Chains A and B, each alone.
Chain A
Amino acid sequence: MEGVGAAVAFWTLAGVTLFAAAGIMFSRNLLHAVLLLILTFIGIAGFFVLLSAEFLAMAQVIIYVGAIAVLVLFAVLLTPRAGRDNGESKMLLPAVLLAVCLGAVVLFVITDTSWNTVPSAPAVEHEPKVAASDLGEALLSTWILPFELASVLLTAALVGAILLVRSPEEEAEDMPS
C-alpha cells in the first residue's frame, strides 16, 4: 500500500469506477447500463486488490461479473416487450436531491472524523495479511453457524427463484389430478 504505484492505481480505479457508475445513471440503453455495471464491478474488484483482499477480489469477479451480471442480462433479454429504455420515473428530482444530500452528509462525516488507523510507515511488516486459507479456517470454525445459515439461505433463494419463474402451463402439469 506504499508509494506512487498504489496512488496511481487508486486514482485510476476511482476514476473508472465512478465514471462507470455515473454512466449507469445517464445511459439511455438498458444493455449499455448493464455493461457499465460490469465495469463498475471490475473496478471494485481492483479496489479489493489494493486493500490486500485478493481472494475476495477473485470472488467479486466470479460472483458479480460472472453470475449476477449474466443474470441481469438474462432478465433484460427475457423481458423483450418491456423495452430497452433506461429512463427515469417521475421521482427523478427528489431521488437525486436525496442522494446528493446523503452523499454530502456521509462525505462530511468521513472527512471530519479522525480515524483510528494502524500507522502505516513504521509497521509495514505488521500489515495484516489474510490468506485464503485463513479465511477458510475462520469460516469453518468461528463463523460456522452463519456459514451454514448462508447455505440454507442460498438453497431457499434458489428454490424460490425457480418457483417464481415457472410458466402457468408447467404449474398445471405438476398439479395432482
Chain B
Amino acid sequence: MTPGLDHFLAVGAVLFASGFAIALSKRNAIGVLMGVELMLNAVNLTLLAFSRFSSGPRPVTGQAFVVFTITVAAAEAAVALALAVSVYRHRETIDVDKLNLLRS
C-alpha cells in the first residue's frame, strides 16, 4: 500500500510520544536533551508531511518553516549542552533528580 498523509503523521506522532517519554523519564540531563531533539524532529516530519500532501498554493512555505525550526533546534541544543557542562563544573553531576536547588 502506498504511504499516505496519515502514515507519515502516525510515524511523527509515535516519534513525538517516545521523545516525550525520554525527555520526562531520563535521569541524565543529556538524555533529557536527546528526548527534546527527538520531539523537534517529529514535529519537522509532521510539518513536511502536511506541506507535501496538502493542496496549498505555495508548497515551499512548509519547507521554509522547517528551515526555521531546524535553526531554532540548533540554537537550543548549543545552549542546553553548554548549560549541562556548566552545571557539571559546579555540581559534579548532571543527574536531574539531584539538581533541586536554586542556589548552590
A: residues with CB less than 8 A from B are 1-3, 6-7, 10-11, 14, 17-18, 21-22, 24-25, 30, 33-34, 37, 40-41, 44, 47-48, 50-53, 55-56, 59-60, 63-64, 67-68, 71-72, 74-76, 78-79, 81-83, 85-92, 94-96, 98-100, 102-103, 106-107, 110-111, 115-118, 120, 128-130, 134-135, 138-139, 142-143, 146, 150, 153-154, 156-158, 160-162, 164-165, 167
Contact = CB atoms under 8 A, between A and B. Distances in A.
B30 A75 contact: yes
Given A91-B25, A164-B86, 15 more contacts: A10-B3, A21-B14, A24-B34, A37-B34, A37-B38, A51-B49, A53-B63, A56-B70, A74-B81, A86-B26, A88-B25, A115-B53, A117-B4, A134-B60, A143-B68
Contacts of A37: 34, 37-38
B26 A88 contact: yes
Contacts, number: 251
B79 A89 contact: no
B104 interface: no
In this complex, which of A41, A63, A72, A146 has the most chain B Cβ atoms within 10 angstroms of its Cβ?
A72
B14 A103 contact: yes
Nearest to B95: A82
Contacts of A85: 27-28
A116 B55 contact: yes
Contact of A3 (B2, B15, B75): B2
A63 B33 contact: no
A30 B30 contact: yes
B92 to A, nearest CB: 6
Contacts of A10: 3, 7
Range, interface on chain B: 35 or more
B2 A6 contact: yes
Interface string B57-89: 011110110111011111111110111111011
A3 B3 CA distance: 9
A79 B71 CA distance: 26
Interface pairs A-B: 8 shortest CB-CB:
A103-B17, A128-B59, A95-B24, A99-B21, A157-B75, A95-B25, A161-B82, A164-B82
A107 B79 CA distance: 32
A135 B41 contact: no
Contacts of B35: 24
